[in-house]
Structure 1
Amino acid sequence: MRPTRSSLLPVLALAVAAPALLAAPPAQAQNFFERLFGIKPERPPVPPRGLPEAPPAPLPGGGGEPGQAPAPETPRAPPAPARPVVLKAPSEEGVIGQDLQLNGMSGSLKLERTGTAVTARITLPGTKISQPAESCTVPLGAGSPVTLNPEGKPEGVPRYEAAGAECPLRLDVTEGGILVSTLGSGPVCTFSAADCATTPTGLWGPAPATLLPRASEFDTARGAADKAVRDNYKLMTQRARREDVRPIVTEQAAFSADREQFCRSYAREGTHGFCHLRFTENRALALATRLGANTAVPTATAAPRSRPRPKPAVEGLNPDAAGGGDNVPE
C-alpha cells in the first residue's frame, strides 16, 4: 500500500525538527511529541481537601496575631548588689574568766568583769636584758587588775586598750582568745627595774593540749573564713575607684604572709591551726566593717556543720559490709 501524503506529514515534521529536538531540553522535546502524536499528558495530582492548614508563624518579638504589633517585653529586675560576707562576731563574754597564755605557752592574761567595767590581770613573759638567754616575767600594775578602756568595735570585734599601763596594750577579742598588740613605738616593752624585755604581741589563747582534739573542726572553719576574706576583698576592689584598687590588691596579697608571721610562734600551730583560724576570722570581720556591713547580723558562719547522727542498727543487717545496711545475710 502506498503511503499517503497525510500519513507522511508526521514523519517529515519529525525529520525537520530532529536537529532542534536533540539540542532542546528534555521537557520541551516531550511536549513536542505529545502535540505531534496527540498524546494527552497525565493530569497533575490534586492535593487532598479538608486538611488543616498550618498556623502562621508567630511574629518576632512575641506578637500575637499576624499584623499586630509585638507585645512589649517585661522589664527584668536589676541583679541584686553584692553584699559583704559577715561572720559571727566574737563576744568578750566568751573569754572573761579564761586563763590565756601568749602563743598558748607563756605569761598569763585573764579578763575580769566588775559591774560594767572590764579589767585584766596580765603577766608579760620576756628575756633578761643583762642575760638574753634567760627568761623573765613582769606583772603589769604590780599584779593588780589593769583598767581597760572599751573602744567599741572599729574592726568588727570588741576592742579594749590599756593605755595607762607600763606597757600600753591593745586587745582585740577573738573566739576563745585575744589578739594583743602594743600601742607604743615598737613591739618590745622594756622594764629596766625588772631587767626584763617583753614582746607581748601575738595571740593569747589556750594551751595546745586543749586545741588538738578540735583540729578537724578548726580546719573546716578556716575554709569558710578564707572564702569570706577573698569575697570581701573582691567586693572592695569592685567598689573602689581605679586609683584605689592597687593598695587593696597589695593588702590582699600580703594577707597570707602577715598571718603566717603572726601565728608562727603559737605552740603546735601546725597541728591544730587555731591561730590561723582566729586571725582569718578577725580579718574577714574587719573587711566587712570597712565595707559598711552590720557585723551584729552575720550572713555566713565559719563553724563546721554538725555531722548527721548514725542510723540505728537493724537486726538482721550488717552495717559493716559494703553498701551499708543493704546487705541482708542469706
Structure 2
Amino acid sequence: MPPLTRALLLAPLLLAPPSPAAAQNFFEELFGIGRAAKPPVPPRGVPGGVQPGSPIAPPPGAPGDAPTAEVPRAPAVPKQPVVLKAPPEDNVVGQELMHNGLNGSLKLEKTGGGTTARMILPGTKVSQPSESCTVPWNGGTPATLTAEGRPDGLARFEAAGATCPLRFEVVDGGVLVTSLGATPICTVAAADCATTPAGLWGPAAATLIPRAAEFDGARGTADRAVRENYKLMTQRARGQDVRPIVTEQAAFSSDREQLCRTYAREGAHGFCNLRFTEGRALALATRLGVNTASAAPTAAAAPRPRRKPQPSVEGMNPDAGGAPAFPE
C-alpha cells in the first residue's frame, strides 16, 4: 500500500476526541484537584505508621535541635593539705649570698646556740642617685638574730634591734629578707648611701642556670600545692572569711612577679619564682594546721619531660619553633 494511502486511513483514529473520563482525569492531575490533592493514606495496623496530620519528629542531631548543655562539675577539693619538703633552717649557713644574685653580701653563721648575720648592703648615693654605693649593715658588726620558729612554714629570724631592722626567712638555697621598719629604704647618712635590702638573697645566676630543668619540674609541683591548699582553705572558711583569702591569693602572682623580676637572669633558671611559690605553699599548709617542720611531704618534684626538638624544614624559621619564615 502506498505511504500516502496508509496515512489517510490512520488520520481519523489519531484525531478521534478523548473520552470525557480521560479528559477529567487529565485536568485533575494538571491542576492538583480531586484525587491528586489527597495524600495517600497508609494502611491501618502497620506498626510505626504515621497518621495523617500528625507532626513528624526530626531525626536526632538535626540542625534545629538545641545542643544538650553539660552540667559543669565543681573542681575536686583535696581532703588533706599538700605538704612540700620544708627546707632546713641551716641549709644556707656559711654561704655567701647576694642580693638578687647580683651584688652585696649576706652570710648567716652559727655561734654557740644562736645565729648571726653579716651583710654588705648595695645602694645608691643620696647626693648622687646615679652613682652606686655599698654600706655595711649594723655598722659592720654581726647582728644576733632571734629565732621566731616557723609561723608561715619557713624558718624565720629577726633582728629588730639592729640598724635597719630586718626579717630573714630561709628558703632552699637562699634567704627572703623583708624590712621591719616603717619604710623599706635604709639610709645611712654617714655613708651618704640609701639601700633597699628587701628581696631574695641567693646564688649568682651562673650557678643556677645548669639546674634550670630541676627548677622547672619543682615549680609545677609547687604551683599545684598552692592551688590545692588554696581550694581547701576556701572550702573550710566561713562565708565572711572567704573574701580575704581570695584577695590574698589574687595578690600572690603579682607579688611574686614584683619580687623576682630583678633577680639576675631569672628567665633562664626560675630560681626566685620557685622559692617564692614553695614558701606560699608551705604558708598555706601551715594555716591549714600542718606542722611543716615535722610533717612528711606529700608532694614530690619530678622533672617535666622535655619536648623533642623538631627537625628543621626548608622554608621554615628554625628560631620560631616551626613557624613560617618571615616574608622578605
Instruction: Decide: shared fold, TM above 0.5.
Output: yes
Mapped pair 1:83 → 2:44: no
Matches within 5 A, 1:261-280: 261-280=258-277
**Is this contact kept in 2: 1:146–1:162, CA < 8 A?**
yes
Structure 1 letter corresponding to 2:212: A
1:145 and 1:154 mapped to 2: Cα distance? 25
Selected match of 1:210 from 196, 199, 207: 207
Match of 1:227 in 2: 224
Contact map agreement 1:222 1:302 (CA 8 A) in 2: no
Cα offset, 1:146, TM superposition: 1.1
Q: Deviations over 1:34-63 (max 9, x none)?
A: xxxxxxxxxxxxxxxxxxxxxxxxxxxxxx
User: What's the CA shift for 1:306?
Assistant: 11
Indicate how the Cα distance of structure 1 residues 197 and 226 shifts in structure 2: closer, same or farther if over 3 A, else same. Answer: same
Q: Is the 8 A contact 1:89 1:298 kept in 2?
A: no
Partner of 1:130: 127
Select which of 291, 300, 303 maps to 2:301.
303
CA distance in structure 2 between the partners assigned to 1:231 and 1:127 by the alignment? 42
Number of the residue aligned with 2:106: 109
Give matches, 1:1-330, under 5 Å.
82-295=79-292, 296-304=294-302
Change (3 A) 1:211 1:302: farther
Corresponding residue SS for 1:93: coil
4+ long deviations beyond 3 Å = none
8 A contact 1:101–1:109 mirrored in 2? yes
State which drifts further: 117-126 or 295-304: 295-304
Tell me: CA distance 1:302–1:143, structure 2 relative to 1, closer, same or farther (3 Å). Answer: farther
Paired amino acid for 2:297: T
2-structure distance, mates of 1:224, 1:98 = 27
Q: In structure 2, how many angstroms separate the alpha carbons of the residues matched to 1:117 and 1:177?
A: 19
Paired with 2:139 and 2:198, the residues of 1 have a C-alpha distance of: 20
How far does residue 303 in structure 1 lie from its aligned partner after superposition? 3.1
Q: Is the 8 A contact 1:122 1:139 kept in 2?
A: yes
Amino acid at match of 2:280: R
SS of 1:178's equivalent in the other structure is strand
The answer to whether the Cα contact below 8 Å between 2:200 and 2:272 also exists between their aligned partners in 1 is yes
Once residues 129 and 279 of structure 1 are traced to their aligned partners in structure 2, the CA distance between those partners, rounded to angstroms, is 31
Report the AA paired with residue 299 of structure 1: P
Structure 2's unaligned 5+ residue stretches are 1-76, 306-328
CA shift at 1:141, angstroms? 3.0
Letter in 2 for 1:110: K
For residues 197-255 of structure 1, what are the alpha-carbon distances to aligned partners after superposition, in whole Å with 9 as ceiling and x for unaligned?
Answer: 10011000000000000011101100000000001110000000011111211211221
Contact 1:85 1:231 in 2 (8 A): yes
After TM superposition, give the deviation of residue 149 of structure 1 in Å. Answer: 0.7
User: Are 1:124 and 1:200, in contact at CA under 8 Å, matched by a contact in 2?
Assistant: yes
Query: Cα offset for 1:115?
Result: 1.6
The two structures have a TM-score, normalised by structure 2, of: 0.67
How many Å separate the matches in 1 of 2:166 and 2:299?
Answer: 30
Q: Which amino acid aligns with 2:260?
A: C
Return the offset for 1:173. 0.4
What is the distance in 1 between the residues matched to 2:78 and 2:112?
A: 43
The verdict on how the C-alpha distance between 1:203 and 1:302 changes in structure 2, with shifts beyond 3 A counting, is farther
CA distance in structure 2 between the aligned counterparts of 1:178 and 1:258, rounded to whole angstroms: 16
Name the SS of the counterpart of 2:123 in structure 1.
strand
For the 8 Å contact 2:219–2:277, the answer to whether it is kept is yes
Instruction: Give, in whole Å, the separation in 2 of the partners of 1:252 and 1:183.
Output: 23
C-alpha displacement of 1:164: 1.3
**What is the distance in 1 between the residues matched to 2:212 and 2:95?**
20
| Identity over aligned pairs, percent | 68
Structure with max Cα Rg: 1
Partner-residue secondary structure (3-state), 1:244: helix
Answer yes or no: is the 8 Å Cα contact 2:167–2:180 preserved in 1: yes
TM-score (norm 1): 0.67
- Secondary structure of the 1:136 match is strand
Alignment check: 8 A CA contact 2:106 2:118 kept: yes
